[in-house]
Amino acid sequence: MATVDAVTPTQLFDPVDVDRQLEAGKVLPPAFYTDASIRRLEESLIFRHAWQMVCAELDVREPGQYVTTEIASVPVVVVRDKDRVLHAFVNICTHRANPIMDEAAGTCHHMRCGYHGWAFALDGRLTAVPKFAEGNLPPLETLGLRPLPIGTFAGIVFVALEPQETLGEQVGELAQLMTEAGYDFPFSNPQSGLEPIAEHTGDYSVDANWKVVAENFAECYHCGPTHPGTFAAALEVGKPDWALTQDGKFGLAAGLPLRKSMKPKFEPRTAEYAGSPYGFAQFFVWPNALILTGAIGDHLMRLDPTGPRSTRLAYWGYKRPGLPEDEVDALYKLLMYDGGAEDKVIMEGVQRGLESGFYEAGPTMAGPEAVVSAFQRQVWEALAPGLR
């Protein structure tokens, strides 16, 4: 079990006030976005437990294919073994703690540590130790890689360090909302022919708390003023179609139709992406993953807190055959790169505002920002046990 750092809530805010403020439709106190002890608490109470998006299943479809990542500061490797079983391991050598697989992704016959050359089979067993006879080692079966819980949702691989619920419980009724939103689950359909796009896979940093980033994805109230030439130029941003999961779970389905002027570019191929009535649709999986679809093609995204004031935004792009490639590419660039750059400026400005010491928790707009409030309530519910 992860330990929880002691935080004296009264130093930062009164928990009773937080309840009251959220109830009154106000945002979380600024300390939630700036304080290092809150950040550590989030790592213990949210990120060490939550199932985290690692890659699409198709990224590890062949034996030996692997993907590495980091979850709550723990290096992780996901790999498919020779019997096609998918595994997740702590990517740390059981000899003297060197991270074993250092590429982001690749294909291997076995996992060999670069420090002293110990080699592990794709199912995690330690199989080769240089100068073995001189080692006087404990039984090799006690020195295998440490396995981690792994699961898939919508054809996407999730790993958790110390889960407190199943992946199914974490996603709640999201699959149903996605179906109702017209999503056709291309990642779990081997016939969909999705292929990774190296050019649209990468990451960038935002100098803002991860919740500022998540909240920016949780409303389109800002789309007109912030994105007049990007989102608002290509999409009907006025009345986004969205729904939240029930039972206190935060999951979001949101969609924006293409503007009339944009439709001719995509309409001739509508059949190829039947089930995606949107130019841009996103599904937010608590606490920090996004599945994107629509005329922009299919993309995954994960928001990783790297500090109280910084977030790494990782994204993976996939091509869907049959879509007009150049048009998809242009739309994706317009929205995710140009629009993303506009968001980055805003998010970093918001972070400075939160840190100024001259901002008191403001009100949310009950309609257009209902999702922001739902997200903040979920954050508060997760952290409250460590703060009361």
Binding residues for ligand FES (CB under 6 A): 93, 95-96, 98, 113, 115-118
Closest approach of Cβ 149 to ligand FES, in Å? Answer: 24
Measured at the alpha carbon of residue 286, what is the angle toward residues 46 and 21, in degrees to the nearest 5? 75
- Chain position whose Cβ is nearest to Fe ion: 343
- CA–CA dist 286, 289 (Å, integer): 7
Which CB, 319 or 344, lies closer to Fe ion? Answer: 344
User: Cα–Cα distances in Å, from 27 out to 21, 209, 311, 361, 375?
Assistant: 7, 14, 20, 5, 10
Which CB, 42 or 343, lies closer to Fe ion? Answer: 343
Residue 343 interacts, among Fe ion, ligand FES, none and using kind-specific CB cut-offs from 5 to 8 Å, with Fe ion
Name, in order, each residue with C-beta under 8 angstroms of 337's C-beta and a sequence gap of 6 or more: none
Residue 188 interacts, among Fe ion, ligand FES, none and using kind-specific CB cut-offs from 5 to 8 Å, with none
Residue 116 interacts, among ligand FES, Fe ion, none and using kind-specific CB cut-offs from 5 to 8 Å, with ligand FES
Which CB, 33 or 89, lies closer to ligand FES? Answer: 89
- CA–CA dist 79, 98 (Å, integer): 18
Q: Is the dihedral of CA 379, 383, 384, 388 positive or negative?
A: negative
Closest approach of Cβ 372 to Fe ion, in Å? Answer: 13
Closest approach of Cβ 313 to Fe ion, in Å? Answer: 12
User: Which parts of this chain interact with Fe ion (CB under 5 A)?
Assistant: 343
Residue 337 interacts, among Fe ion, ligand FES, none and using kind-specific CB cut-offs from 5 to 8 Å, with none
Which CB, 146 or 239, lies closer to ligand FES? Answer: 146
Residue 118 interacts, among Fe ion, ligand FES, none and using kind-specific CB cut-offs from 5 to 8 Å, with ligand FES
| Residue 225: CB atoms within 10 Å | 9
Please identify which residue in the block is written with the tokens 């790592």: 43
Closest approach of Cβ 219 to Fe ion, in Å? Answer: 9
Identity of the amino acid at 257: P
Please identify which residue in the block is written with the tokens 């006690």: 142
Burial 66-80 (b: 16+ CB within 10 A, else e): bbbbebbebbbbbbb
Which CB, 329 or 343, lies closer to Fe ion? Answer: 343
